[in-house]
A = this chain, B = another copy of it.
Amino acid sequence: MNAEETLIAAVEKASVENGVAEKDVSKEDIVTPWDVSSTSAKGVDYMKLIEKFGCRTMTNDLVERLEKLTGAKPHVFLRRGMYFAHRDLTVILDRFEQKKPFYLYTGRGASAGSLHLGHLIPFIFTKYLQDLFDVPLVIQLTDDEKFLWKGMTVEQAKKMAMENMKDIIAVGFDPEKTFIFNDFDYMCPPFYENIVKIWKTVTNNQARAIFGYSGEDPIGKSAFPAVECAPCFSSSFPHIFGTKKDIPCLIPCAIDQDPYFRMTRDVAPRLKYSKPSLIFNTFLPALQGAQTKMSSSDPNSCIFISDTANQIKNKINKYAFSGGQATIEEHQKIGGNCDVDIAYQFLTYFLEDDDELKHIHEEYTAGRMLTGELKQRAIKEVQRVVATISERRKSVTDQTVEEFRRIRKLKYDF
């Protein structure tokens, strides 16, 4: 099989395993909480996703409004469209303008080992939003989900959650404003009450339509989504929000998590809760190309935050898919293709300087900049981002984790 056939076969296999109806097993992009892949070297067609999922495009007007409200230059991810879509972001901006409370909610399904850069995108952005808005943040580690979906013990799932928390904390969250929890250890009456309320409001047919479960799947797969939805409701955290039950949240997350929050938004008004707002990021492409996202299951597709500067250099040099031409002569004649070049894509995520990025795009497209040089520049930026986090990671201990996990008031007064 050629590369495309291999990919389609993989996509079909994944789709069948996840019970996705046959009509979806075409050359369409696959974006579910369990699989993300595209047959295009440019990656997922996000505009099609917006249409399919029914969310809104992140417009320049919105980014400008954010800039005006906060007086701060928008984050690279906002300036360059990595946060490409949203649901009801205006509701949150209105509340910010009116000085009304809201909170941030994000999370992750704990997996083995060190986090990679793709995992960190939502966390880097969430930290930016926390600093920008100065609001409480809750971070959920769905160790129960991992236990249900993967062949592991509860202890293994919890251990992974603990280790992942350390990497997340290393992004730089403020312990006075951040509550991190794993489901297995946080489960408590107010949280469970919201879970049961969601269970009562969604039918098996609806859950199946949203998540594509089959009869052969364990019941936990139908029961679990409510556990990811419940943190959207502030009453799940009385230690933070006291008796205030009507505080809405903004969820920065990758677009593949949208099914959970579409469900939550359907359910919220029926429970007399606020709908969560969302802001969605694109997927950081795998080194091998934008057809798939970075995935821990293929370590050579990822830059891990535990990678040394040298490992980062070698991985990018060896694996980063190039949009350059086969020979220098050809490259100088035809020019490189930034749209599919992974080194260039990394620079769009991590190079702060808009002018320099524009310059690189021009030079590479014109064939004046060669692949080696482009990779050099990307390596430098990726090393910088990873170094900041991995340096902070060194001082994160079990005790630090306990500080973030402790049931306590945050510094806000609700």
Which residues of chain A in 185-220 are interfacial with respect to chain B, using CB atoms and an 8 Å cutoff?
185-189, 191-193, 196-197, 199-205, 207-208, 213-220
In contact, A199 and B187 (Cβ under 8 angstroms): no
Residues of the B chain whose Cβ atoms lie less than 8 Å from the Cβ of A219: 199, 202-204, 207, 222-223, 226
Contact of A184 among B183, B196, B207, B208 (CB under 8 A): B196
**Whole-angstrom CA separation of A77 from B217 in the bound complex:** 42
Contact of A217 among B192, B204, B223 (CB under 8 A): B204
State in angstroms the CA–CA spacing of A383 and B218 once bound together. Answer: 49
- Name A201's closest neighbour in chain B (CB-CB): B218
Interface residues of A in 77-92 (CB under 8 A from B): none
A 160-188 contacts with B by CB, 8 A: 183-188
Q: Report how far A207 CA is from B187 CA in the complex, Å.
A: 24
CB distance from A134 to the nearest CB of B (A): 31
**How far apart sit A193 and B184, CA to CA, in the bound complex (Å)?**
6
Taken together as a complex, chains A and B put the C-alpha atoms of A191 and B144 apart, in Å, by 13
Interchain CA distance A271-B8 in the complex, whole Å: 37
Is A148 a contact of B200 with CB atoms below 8 Å? yes
Given A184-B189, A188-B188, A222-B223, also A148-B215 (CB < 8 A) = no
Q: Are A196 and B154 in contact (CB under 8 A)?
A: yes
Per the bound structure, the CA–CA distance linking A207 and B215 in Å amounts to 9
Smallest CB–CB gap between A211 and chain B, Å? 10
B188–A187 CB distance below 8 A = yes
Contacts of A404 in B (CB 8 A): none
Contact with B along A82-113 (1 / 0, CB 8 A): 00000000000000000000000000000000
Closest residue on chain B to residue A143 by CB atoms: B196
- Asked whether, in the complex, the Cβ of A218 is within 8 Å of the Cβ of B192, the reply is no
State A240–B193 Cα separation when bound (angstroms).
24
Chain B residue with Cβ nearest A157 = B196
Q: Flag whether A147 is at the interface (Cβ < 8 A).
A: yes
CA–CA, A218 and B196, complex, Å: 10
**Bound-state Cα–Cα, A223 to B197, Å:** 12
User: Considering the chains assembled together, what is the distance between the CA atoms of A11 and B214 in angstroms?
Assistant: 31
Tell me, in angstroms, the Cα distance from A216 to B203 when the chains sit together.
5
Rounded to whole angstroms, the CA-CA distance of A219 and B154 in the bound complex is: 23
> Among residues 277 to 308 in chain A, which have CB atoms less than 8 Å away from a CB atom of chain B?
none
Report Cα–Cα, A205/B218, bound state, in Å. 8
Which of A203, A214, A224, A226 has most B Cβ within 10 Å?
A: A203
Contact present for A208 and B215 (CB under 8 Å): yes
Assess whether B189 is in contact with A218, with CB atoms less than 8 Å apart.
Answer: no
Q: Mark A341-382, 1 if CB is under 8 A from B, else 0.
A: 000000000000000000000000000000000000000000
In Å, the complex CA distance between A154 and B219 comes to 23
Query: Which residues of chain A from 221 to 268 have any CB-CB distance to chain B below 8 Å in the complex?
Result: 221-224, 226
Give the residues in chain B near A223, CB-CB below 8 Å.
199, 219, 222-223, 226
- Assembly CA distance A186 to B188 (angstroms): 8
Known A144-B192, A204-B221, A223-B223; 13 more pairs at CB < 8 Å: A144-B196, A154-B193, A183-B192, A185-B189, A186-B189, A188-B188, A192-B192, A199-B223, A202-B219, A204-B222, A207-B219, A208-B215, A219-B226
Residue contacts A-B, CB under 8 angstroms, 27 given = A144-B192, A144-B196, A147-B196, A147-B200, A148-B199, A154-B196, A183-B192, A184-B189, A184-B196, A185-B189, A186-B189, A188-B188, A192-B192, A199-B218, A199-B219, A200-B218, A200-B220, A203-B216, A204-B215, A204-B217, A204-B219, A204-B222, A205-B215, A205-B216, A207-B219, A219-B226, A222-B222
Closest 4 CB pairs of A and B: A199-B220, A223-B223, A205-B215, A187-B192
